[in-house]
Amino acid sequence: MSWISQNYEKAALGGAAVLALGLAFLGWSKISGVEEEFNTHLKGAGNNDPSVRGADLVPQAIASLGLNRTWSQAEDDGRAVDLFTGIPLFVSRDAPNKALDLVEGESVHPPIPNVWWIENDLDPGFGDSPQRDPDQDGFSNLEEFKAETDPNSAESHPQLIAKLKYVKDETLTWVLRPGFESDGGFPFTYEDSARQTNRAGAAEIIMPGTVFFGEGAAKNRFKLLGSERRKELNPRIKVEVEVLYVRIEDQRANKKGTIYEIPSQFKEDLKMDYAQYDRTAILSLEAVGQSGTEFKVEENTMFSLPPGSSKKDYLLKKVTPEGIEVEYTDAAGTKKTVQIAKGSTP
């Protein structure tokens, strides 16, 4: 058996080592020759070396790095020109194949003039641009244009009454019944739709000038003014009869001064004929981040917009299940009244 057969592994390792050394030498020799083969270093100024394409431009490029470059807005007859697109052109919704110049062309979104979009730095290039709300105050571009407010500032917006929504009413129905007269005074009973009751009975006859119901439901709400007998035609029996009417003044803050005339001892089946209503409107302001937040206002009460602010400029004059009536003073100082149907804004 030969020495190689007996020492195969040693021979293989030795051969590998020799091969590695050879490759290393070859690599070193190539690296040392790169400059000669590829001309990695320019000779002189570089513009005389034909082996490097564009070498004559290298000195110019290096010199340009030291130049002071100042960008200035391009203009065309006094109009700003975008350096990338030139003068922007748009199309009319009614003529999409016709290019439209904002300055010289017809309005893209009537009745808003094109200059309004330019002055407010807004993009009219969307089909719904008038309905967009860039400042997120709840008022569209069209609404801001009509009100002459700033569409880019949430602090500048049309009067908030325009976004007041009547959600629904909350009504308390009540009935006050005078009993038999006694020396000009009367007993009273009270009941309402919240199942509250109160009574001033025969043992505590209420005399004229007295505020009654010192405790319980409708506490200190009513004042007896007096009574008056009248002759009137009874529609059921077609006969003229004498009726004793009791006059009562409401003392509730939002109804103070309201006078009710109620017949003494009216029959049970006529109860709803003499029912009264305490109405409260449930409202929401669909703007300035208040959308969906409900608040309550009693009928004939001043309130503020947005709710919670110190200045109460609005009067809720009337509330019905179908709608409300609000009185306010506009920016010009003119007193106005708006009707708002249930589920909507003015």
Q: Which residues contact 80 (CB under 8 A, 6 or more apart)?
A: 73, 74
Name the token pair of 229: 């007998």
Q: Which residues contact 234 (CB under 8 A, 6 or more apart)?
A: 240, 241
pLDDT in tens, the chain (346 residues): 444 455 545 555 555 555 555 555 555 455 555 444 444 444 455 555 666 677 777 777 777 777 777 767 667 666 666 665 555 666 666 777 777 777 777 888 899 999 999 899 999 988 899 999 999 999 999 999 999 999 999 999 999 999 999 999 999 999 999 999 999 999 999 999 999 999 999 899 999 999 999 999 999 999 999 999 999 888 778 888 899 999 999 999 999 999 999 999 998 888 999 999 999 999 999 999 999 899 999 999 999 999 999 999 999 999 999 999 999 998 888 999 999 999 999 9
Distance between first and last Cα of the chain: 112
Distance separating alpha carbons of residues 257 and 277, to the nearest angstrom: 15
Residue 319: is it exposed, middle or buried by C-beta count within 10 angstroms (0-12/13-18/19+)? buried
Beta strands (DSSP E) in the chain are 74-76, 79-81, 89-91, 99-101, 164-178, 188-192, 197-200, 211-212, 222-234, 239-250, 259-263, 276-285, 294-298, 301-303, 314-319, 323-329, 335-341
